[in-house]
Amino acid sequence: MAGRDNPRNTRIGLFRPEHVVLLIVLAGFVAINLSVWAAHRAAVKLGLAEPPSPFPTVGAIEVLARDSVEWTGAATAILVGEWVVVVAVAVTIIVARRRWELRRTGGTKSRIAHATRQMASTSDIATLSPRARRHEHISNNLPDCGWYGAYLGREWATGQVLMSGTEDNVLNLWAPREGKTTSKAIPEIWNAPGLVVATSCKRDLIDETIRLREHIGEVWVFDPQGLAPGAGSDGGFYFDPLDFVRAARYWDGSALRLAEIFEGATTSRSAVSGDAGENAFFYQQARDLLTALFLAAALGNKPITDVYKWVSAPGAGEPLTLLRESNYEAQHEDLNAKYSLTPRTRDGVFSAAKNCIACLGLAEVREWLTPHGHRRRLDVTDLAHDDRATLYMLTEEDNPVARPISTVLAILISEALKKRASQFERDRLPIPVLMVLDEIANVVRWPNLPEALSTYGSRGILFDIFLQTYAQGEEMWGPVGMRKLYALVAIKVIGPGQTEPEFAQMVSTQVGNYREVERSLSYSANGSGSSSQQVGSDKPILSVDEIQNLQKWQMIVIAKGRRPMLARMIPAAKQDFSPTTRDLLDRLEKGETSVPVD
Read off the pLDDT of residues 69-107 as tens digits, 9 standing for 90 and up: 666 777 778 777 877 888 888 888 877 777 766 665 555
- β-bridge partners, 556: 494, 566
Using alpha carbons, select from 575, 420, 465 the residue that is nearest to residue 198.
465
What was the pLDDT predicted at 590?
A: 72
| pLDDT greater than 70 at residue 461 | yes
* In the predicted structure, residue 16 carries a pLDDT above the cut 70: no
If one compares 574 and 356, the residue with the highest pLDDT of the two is 356
State yes or no: pLDDT of 436 exceeds 70: yes
Which position has the higher pLDDT, 31 or 534? Answer: 31
pLDDT higher than threshold 80 for residue 27: no
Q: What's the rounded Cα separation, in Å, for the pair 564 and 142?
A: 27
For the chain, the domains span 18-105, 240-367
Quote the pLDDT of residue 70. Answer: 66
* Cβ atoms within 10 Å of 141's Cβ, excluding its own: 9
528 pLDDT exceeds 80?
Answer: no
Strands (E), 356-432: 376-377, 390-394
pLDDT tens-digit readout, 222-231: 999 888 887 7
Q: Following DSSP, what letter does each residue of 511-580 receive, concatenated?
A: H-EEEEEEEEEEE-TTSS-EEEEEEEEEEESS-HHHHHTPPTTEEEEEETTS--EEEE---GGGS---HH
Identify the pLDDT of residue 144. 85
Those residues whose C-beta lies under 8 Å from the C-beta of residue 570, and which sit 6 or more positions away, are 106, 151, 153, 154, 183
SS3 state of residue 149: coil
What is the pLDDT, as a whole number, of residue 296?
94
CA distance 190 to 164: 16
- Weakest-pLDDT range from 176-185, 292-301, 522-531: 522-531
Q: Say what percent of the chain tops pLDDT 70.
A: 83
Of 38-42, 221-225, 464-468, which one has max mean pLDDT?
A: 464-468
Q: pLDDT tens across 387-414, in order?
A: 999 999 999 887 778 888 999 999 999 9
Q: How far apart are CA 134 and CA 343, in angstroms?
A: 64
Is pLDDT larger for residue 502 or for residue 591? 502
